[in-house]
Amino acid sequence: MKHLSKQEVISQLSQTNALENGFLKRSVDAGLGFYEFTIENPETLFNLIWHYRWSSAILTPGRWYGGKLYTVKNVAKNLMENDYTFDGLVNRDYAGKYEPGWFRSCAKIDKDFSWKSFNSLVVQLPTNVERIDCPNGNFRLIDGVHRSLVATVKLLKNEIEFEPIKTILIIQKPPKLWG
């Protein structure tokens, strides 16, 4: 792992407009340490922790209140096992709880997929609760959710070969457990 300064992270993420994502910007601002590493194999990508979002809830059935967290691979398998397509999700071809607009990025990435335009992922260490809730998870994915999902689906369908992925790890202040 290579240590990065906050300014280096801001510079890298600004090149792709990633800091327009408010959550990511707040995470960088609150970050205590920054590191760059390379995801060298598909299993590491597959085991990134996916957080429930109402906008994509169709892919994480039973998650809210009492369900388990999912890895990117779990989410991709849910998509494939239900015969969903990104275009079908955008066009609201399926009944279920989700926001079709959230899948527009996935549909575009799916059509134009290229590792060259993949850009960096941004991750954080999982919390203790996340480690228990998602024991196969390695890092919490905070930027690159659409790209990771599309790449995982394509890898599982053998449509593409895996290529290493540059990844930025943000170390956060540990959350208060009580009080």
Domain ranges (residues) in the chain: 41-162
Banded model confidence at residue 62, pLDDT cuts 50, 70, 90: low
Whether residue 68 is predicted with pLDDT greater than 70 in this model: the reply is: no
C-alpha span between 118 and 126 (Å, rounded): 23
Mean pLDDT of 77-90: 95
Count the helices and strands in the chain (H runs, E runs): 8, 7
Q: What is the pLDDT of residue 22?
A: 82
Mean pLDDT of 81-86: 95
Banded model confidence at residue 177, pLDDT cuts 50, 70, 90: low
C-alpha span between 36 and 82 (Å, rounded): 35
Q: What is the pLDDT of residue 84?
A: 96
Whether residue 176 is predicted with pLDDT greater than 60 in this model: the reply is: no
Banded model confidence at residue 73, pLDDT cuts 50, 70, 90: very high
Which residues have C-beta within 8 Å of that of residue 131, sequence separation ≥ 6? 137
> What are the pLDDT digits (tens) for 118-148?
999 999 998 887 888 788 899 999 999 999 9
Residues in the chain, overall count: 179
Q: What is the pLDDT of residue 3?
A: 96
CA dihedral 68, 63, 122, 40 (to 10 degrees): 50
> What are the pLDDT digits (tens) for 17-52?
888 888 899 999 999 999 999 999 999 999 999 877
Place of tokens 């600004």: 14
Q: What is the pLDDT of residue 17?
A: 83
Whether residue 179 is predicted with pLDDT greater than 50 in this model: the reply is: no
C-alpha span between 2 and 72 (Å, rounded): 25
Whether residue 63 is predicted with pLDDT greater than 60 in this model: the reply is: no
